[in-house]
Amino acid sequence: MAEIKQVLVPDIGDYKDVGIIEVMVKVGDTIKAEDNLVTLETDKAAMDVPSPYAGVIKEMKVKVGDKVSQGSLILLLESSDAAGAPQSSQPAVQPTPAPTAAPAAAPVAATPAAIPVVAQASQPAVAPARGTPVGAPVKGTPPDTRPSGGLGAAPLLHSDPSAGKAHASPAIRRFARELGVQVAQVKGSGAKGRVTKDDVQLFVKAALAQPRGAAGGNGLQVLASPVVDFAKYGAIETRPLSRIKKIAGANLHRNWVTIPHVTQFDEADITEMEAFRKELGAEYSKQNIKITPLAFLLKAAVAALQKYPEFNASLDAGGENLVIKQYCHIGVAVDTPDGLMVPVLRDVDKKGIVQLAKELGEISAKAREKKITAADMQGGCFTISSLGGIGGTAFTPIINAPEVAILGVSRAIIKPMHKDDTFVARLMLPLSLSYDHRVIDGAAAARFTVFLAQVLADTRRLAL
């Protein structure tokens, strides 16, 4: 036979007159044993009070804002438990005596269960972990570090240093944790910015709706950038980003976060190459063709790509196979007033240095005049980004996916190099090769740059 039971506030340690900050149930609700009923909050911790019984709620005796202590009546419940015994699997508890004033046939007092505790913002460094029964020693209890499921490998709330700053009840924190959500990232719409269940659900929906590759997509859980009112600190001017910058920015961001980059640095002795380039330059200036080191670099890159074909390749969509290309189209990063563009020079392996220098001049002019088309920027196998005309000693270029490597070139300078027991002045060209470490090993990258440097040091090798 169904029995009316009282559910009382169980042993909550030394706390008295603790505020109720959330009531999770209402009259008529059918609940299971261990469903949370209310959340209590002290200045140090918040606690869920679970029901020791399954049944239907008949009468609520508390509301948000009430103050309660151990033994306070929370609600009356019509128990559906056959034997009327508590269903809680929580640790054994002290039976609470029925209120002395209760008549003989009064409802049976619920056995107070142990209450899980969740750290709040003001919690000391060693916080009681969720699941720690009240009454059990909590100091020094290690935080819950069980792996969470759900969205990506988000750290658990307890290991998230900012988690304590968000206002959310333990039930909501648990709900968020089950979904792999860091509650600190959820904007609360409840009273005083408290995070509600709806807020967590909306957060998850928004995360799932994000396109793959967008910020925070691909299962990456990244903190939103801080929103700062810069005008608070001084005068400012707001300039919209150019369309090119916005498009390039999204691609750069995706490539940076999805490709494991490593950059290999080296130097090439281009003393002889430079002498030859100047000769050629003088010869072809009459035809208005400017021969810069980049034309030589394109040819040297072809030689290296042919010797090490895994650099002239892309991972297939599934990431299981390497697609090695039999052609050699090379992209060149061009700095334009509106941002970076990467037009592609076709069949670089089939062209000579003068032809490449000519095309380079044409395509970079086209980019700067905004005449470049999407097709001009597609189909590249490898990219060269040269800052040599500007300066710098090295940099870490971002791979232009789906390519697997990019060569950064900085300004050549004359350096004293040790040769035959003496120092000689040599023109040294800095090389920075970023590569996708999923495809290319460090040793292969070092071989690639060493070979590249050899070819540049002795351009006769380009004819081989």
Q: Footprint of ligand CAO on this chain (CB under 6 A)?
A: 292-294, 332-335, 340, 360, 364, 385-389, 397, 409, 411-412, 429
- Structural tokens at position 274: 């430079």
Sheet holding 18-23, edge to edge: 67-68, 18-23, 36-41, 45-50, 117-119
**Ramachandran category for residue 321: left, alpha or beta (phi over 0 → left; psi -120 to 50 → alpha):** beta
Query: In the complex, what is the shortest distance from the CB of residue 125 to ligand CAO, in angstroms, rounded to a whole number?
Result: 42
Q: How far, in Å, CA of 339 to CA of 347, rounded?
A: 26
The residue among 148 and 386 lying less far from ligand CAO, judged by its C-beta, is 386
Q: How far, in Å, CA of 82 to CA of 2, rounded?
A: 8
The residue among 379 and 389 lying less far from ligand CAO, judged by its C-beta, is 389
Contact 343, 372 (CB under 8 A): yes
Q: How far, in Å, CA of 152 to CA of 87, rounded?
A: 34
Contact 161, 155 (CB under 8 A): no
Other C-beta atoms closer than 10 Å to the C-beta of 138 total 17
- Structural tokens at position 253: 């961001």
The residue among 23 and 387 lying less far from ligand CAO, judged by its C-beta, is 387
Q: How far, in Å, CA of 457 to CA of 146, rounded?
A: 56
Nearest to 149 by CA among 204, 192, 105: 204
Query: In the complex, what is the shortest distance from the CB of residue 288 to ligand CAO, in angstroms, rounded to a whole number?
Result: 13
Angle at 64 between CA 63 and CA 65, to 5 degrees: 110
- Quickly list H helices, 352-397: 353-368
The residue among 264 and 385 lying less far from ligand CAO, judged by its C-beta, is 385
Q: How far, in Å, CA of 127 to CA of 108, rounded?
A: 35
Query: In the complex, what is the shortest distance from the CB of residue 21 to ligand CAO, in angstroms, rounded to a whole number?
Result: 51
The residue among 88 and 255 lying less far from ligand CAO, judged by its C-beta, is 255
Element (H, E) at 170: helix 170-178
Query: In the complex, what is the shortest distance from the CB of residue 331 to ligand CAO, in angstroms, rounded to a whole number?
Result: 11
Angle at 75 between CA 69 and CA 79, to 5 degrees: 130
The residue among 344 and 387 lying less far from ligand CAO, judged by its C-beta, is 387
The residue among 329 and 411 lying less far from ligand CAO, judged by its C-beta, is 411
Tell me which residue has its CB nearest to ligand CAO: 388
Question: CA-CA distances (angstroms) from residue 77 to 52, 74, 113, 274?
Answer: 10, 10, 16, 90
Residues 6+ apart with CB under 8 A from 282: none
Query: In the complex, what is the shortest distance from the CB of residue 404 to ligand CAO, in angstroms, rounded to a whole number?
Result: 17
Other C-beta atoms closer than 10 Å to the C-beta of 129 total 17
List 253, 261, 329, 437, catalytic entry:
437
Give me the count of residues in the chain.
464
Query: In the complex, what is the shortest distance from the CB of residue 437 to ligand CAO, in angstroms, rounded to a whole number?
Result: 19
Catalytic residue status for 253 = no
Which residues have a catalytic role annotated? Answer: 437
